[in-house]
Amino acid sequence: MPLPQQVIEQLGREAPESQGWAWDALLFCGGMLFLAVAIYVGLKYGSEQYWNAQIIKTQDAVNAAAASVPVTDQAQIVSFYSQSANLKSALAGHQFTSKFFTWLENNTEANVYYQNLQLSAGGKVTLKGAAKTEADINQQLAIFENAPEVTGVSLSGVSVAQTGSGYTFNVVLTMASSVFASPSL
């Protein structure tokens, strides 16, 4: 049996060519590249002009504000700012003793009082004290040694007081730097 005429015609014709997936991918990548370049150019030149305009606008506002303040007032403002900045830097490096005196008051035994106090660099504190008994001196040394703010204790010169009642002593304390730290400004 022979093949029908329609089948013979369909077999004789060539199949239409399809563009395929490679051409579609190339078109997609090209479109994305064009879009990225367009966005870059728009941001580069459009936003640059916008930000330059904003800078000029801000500079004009600053110049207008500066022009509205008289020159003498500007000099006074600069002088005041300079003085306050210098004061802040001077106080930042200054050692404050108020915290130390509060600490000393809270860490002194009841039967001990101090006759002389000397502060030295490096947190060294020399105290000349008096106590009723030797036990009071020992108790005071124990308080100093157990205090976290004290990094070193050195006792010297324990003697009977000239009045005959009580004892005198000398002690050198090495204090932690936080005791003399400046309050936050």
Q: In whole angstroms, how far apart are CA 39 and each of 65, 101, 104, 124, 180?
A: 38, 68, 70, 68, 60
Q: In whole angstroms, how far apart are CA 173 and each of 63, 104, 120?
A: 58, 11, 10
CATH pick for 98-180 out of 3.40.1790.10, 3.90.470.20, 3.40.50.970, 3.30.1360.100: 3.30.1360.100
Contacts of 74 (CB under 8 A, 6+ apart): 66
What's the token pair of residue 21?
């997936």
Q: What is the pLDDT of residues 73-128, one digit of tens each?
A: 888 888 998 999 888 887 766 656 778 888 889 999 999 999 999 988 778 999 99
What is the reported pLDDT for 33? Answer: 95
Q: Beta partners for 160?
A: 167
Average predicted confidence (pLDDT) for the chain? 84
* pTM of the shown model: 0.49
What is the reported pLDDT for 7? Answer: 73
What is the reported pLDDT for 184? Answer: 57
